[in-house]
Amino acid sequence: MSRIGKKPVTVPSGIKVEVQGRTIRVEGPQGKLDWTFRPEIEVTHEADQQRVVVTRKDDDRASRAYHGLTRSLIQNMIVGVLKGYEKRLEIVGVGYLAAVQGDVLQLRVGYANEVHKKIPSDLKVTCPDQTHVVVQGCDKQKVGQFAAEVRAVRKPEPYKGKGVRYQGEVVKIKPGKAAS
């Protein structure tokens, strides 16, 4: 059995879990999420023990692969609606800045025009100052996807390190042609 898949997911108080057919719905203080899992997997909610148990129907290769994945995704849903997820980005470069205008993230990162990224409705994007962007939400995948799209607008370049990077990301700086 999958070591991750066989561990039950504990449901903290204040979180409402509902399994209908192949769809699981999780609701908490940060929001609500629903997800349709694969037919090879069975998910049961044991309300009296406050846990969700994930089992697989057979020992096929695909079933074994989806077993641990399904358990991890359900765990991420519960953590997301309880605490939420957050990605922090920092913008490095002279004249590079970011601002939130309504539901649009405006990035000035060295191009001739500003880059405008539409913020998804279920995410909260803030700019504590002009060189930092904070992406928050209850869906781990959407938070990471939007942060990756913002970073892809201007990835950190290897000679001066200018660009958009995750907070704490180490960019290896190349010495350039003057070093040789």
110-118 average pLDDT score: 96
| One-letter identity of residue 90 | E
Where among 33, 52, 82 does a domain terminate?
82
Do 119 and 105 form a contact (C-beta atoms < 8 A)? yes
Q: Say if residue 42's pLDDT is above 70.
A: yes
Where among 31, 65, 82 does a domain terminate?
82
Percent of the chain with pLDDT over 70: 98
For 43, the domain range is: 9-82
Picking from 109, 114, 115, the residue whose alpha carbon sits closest to that of residue 90 is: 109
* pTM of the complete model: 0.92
pLDDT digit string, tens, across residues 82-111: 999 999 999 999 999 999 999 999 999 999
Q: What is the pLDDT of residue 1?
A: 54
Mapped onto helix, strand or coil, the DSSP state of residue 89 is: strand
Same-domain check for residues 61 and 135 = no
Q: What is the pLDDT of residue 177?
A: 87
Where among 82, 102, 124 does a domain terminate?
82
Same-domain check for residues 121 and 160 = yes
Q: What is the CATH number of the domain that holds 48?
A: 3.90.930.12
61-89 average pLDDT score: 95
